[in-house]
Amino acid sequence: MPVLLKNRSLNDRRGLALVLLIVFAFPISAQQSEHDIPSNDSLRGESTLYDFMKQGQVEGRFRLYNMMTINDGAPTDHHAVAFGGALGFTSQRWKGLRFKVSGGYTFDLASSELTLPDPVTGQPSRYEIGLFDIADPRKTNDVAYLQEFQLDWLSPSERSNLVFGKQSLNTPFLNAQDGRMHPSLFEGLWAKQRTKKGTAFEGGWIYRISPRSTSTWYAVSESMDINPVGRDIHGKSSAYGDHIQSAGIFAASVKQALWRKVSATAWNVYTENVFNSALLQLDAGGREERWSASAMAIRQDPAARGACAHDSIAYMPATEASWAFSSRLRNVLGRFRWQLNYTRITAHGRYLMPREWGRDPFFTFLPRERNEGAGDVHAATLNLIWKDMKSGWRIQVDGGIYRMPTITDARLNKYTMPSYAQFDINAQYQFKGGWKGLAMQTLVLAKLPVGDEAVTAKQAFNKVDMLHADLIINYVF
């Protein structure tokens, strides 16, 4: 062991020690779902804290990820093969309380040189480097991280839940975006409450984040510039990363059935001293009903004060705000369904949300690209989905057109993204029987420029005129 740890940093040694601790220290025992109170919970019978730790559950995931990107006309293409996973321990509940800890590790099995820029465009890898640690691209062979470390309380009625510590969230603005080896995770206090009449409340305070494709936990203000920051509204490189000061993210939501088969969901996410995002969504019909429809509206406003509000260093300048609207129509025909989607981001300003915190909430979202950082956007997509629960297959074919503001419009196009069309096929297979827990996924997509605007090689590299493919093998237990 001393030889193994000799050349590792302190954080790496801690991460490896955590993984080894989880593997060897906790026995595999009770196999109930982590969302259910065990039948012998101390609220329902006599027991001791020792019993509920001893009878806890070990769970984990192993992932083999193959990724490749081919850029038309550029000399540099990229590929990466990563292997890793996460192992965790969840105790049974004791007086409503439950303890959970998990850690992960990623190895680089075979990758191209991801840190060298393309000789023509000067741009590095965009997708493959995200399998490892984008904050330290050279540390591809040695990525360890603490994922979850939390206390979870569930009320006897099971209508109230409170989680404190490092955790995963699934909300429109804060979510795992689990499309790499390490998802985005959040640290703070998070609560859920469901009333007897079915009203659902959710929200809390987040003060630290471990963004996807990193191995470190950051304060909220530090987490907002891990990914490329693009340019400000004046066309200069964004400089907000060194100036943001924030007490964290304060979020709250409510979901309520309005009348038969129609429900409304409202979210408000306030990042103190930075900006505020509010969302209202209406859903009519269930996901498995013959016809259903959804629509959302998002309003964003700046909230910086003092020097932090100056246009040259503000994340969202004081003179800017944004409106975004997205809608979906779904038709289910047995095993087949289609979804028609449309999104409009108005020209009032850019829709902004740190990419480290989650993916876009728009119904037009497709893998490997976002409309975050842009205003005056028209996007339309069609999803064709076939799934068979018995066989384990799910196949989705997508096509979309995204009309972006001109590349020269710095105010409305933060990342110089040209208008584009995207087409992809996403095939997934869940194994059954003795291979339960094993799943495979293949994603192949192409992005092409549309319109008459001239696009340079630098502006196209890893954005358009490209082919991207993934082969992912997951085993979850």
DSSP of 106-164, one letter per residue? EEEEEE--SSSPPTTT----SSGGGGS-TTSTT-TT-EEEEEEEEEEEE-TTS-EEEEE
Percentage of the chain beyond pLDDT 70 is 90
Burial class (CB in 10 A: 0-12, 13-18, 19+), 100: buried
Query: Measuring CA to CA, which residue among 464, 278, 409 is closest to residue 353?
Result: 278
For residues 15 and 216, give the distance between their C-alpha atoms in angstroms, rounded to a whole number: 10
Query: Measuring CA to CA, which residue among 212, 102, 188 is closest to residue 147?
Result: 102
Per-residue pLDDT for 183 more than 80?
Answer: yes
Per-residue pLDDT for 218 more than 50?
Answer: yes
The reported pLDDT for the residue numbered 140 is 65
Q: pTM for this one?
A: 0.88
Q: Quick check: 100 and 89 in contact, CB under 8 A?
A: yes
For residues 136 and 16, give the distance between their C-alpha atoms in angstroms, rounded to a whole number: 18
Q: What does each C-alpha distance from 122 to 116, 147, 455, 456, 459 come to in angstroms?
A: 9, 34, 16, 12, 11
**Contacts of 111 by beta carbon, 8 Å cutoff, 6+ apart:** 79, 80, 81, 82, 128, 131, 140
The reported pLDDT for the residue numbered 115 is 84
How confident is the prediction for the chain on average, in pLDDT? Answer: 89
Q: Which amino acid is at 200?
A: A
Q: Quick check: 23 and 87 in contact, CB under 8 A?
A: yes
**Helix (H) / strand (E) containing 328:** strand 322-333
Structure tokens at 177: 């975006």
Angle at 329 between CA 465 and CA 383, to 5 degrees: 35
Query: Residue 173, Cα to own-chain centre: how many angstroms?
Result: 9
For residues 30 and 417, give the distance between their C-alpha atoms in angstroms, rounded to a whole number: 50
Q: Quick check: 261 and 285 in contact, CB under 8 A?
A: yes
Segment 1-40, tens digit of pLDDT: 333 333 434 444 444 444 434 333 433 333 333 333 333 4
Segment 424-455, tens digit of pLDDT: 999 999 999 999 999 999 999 999 999 999 99
For residues 30 and 25, give the distance between their C-alpha atoms in angstroms, rounded to a whole number: 15
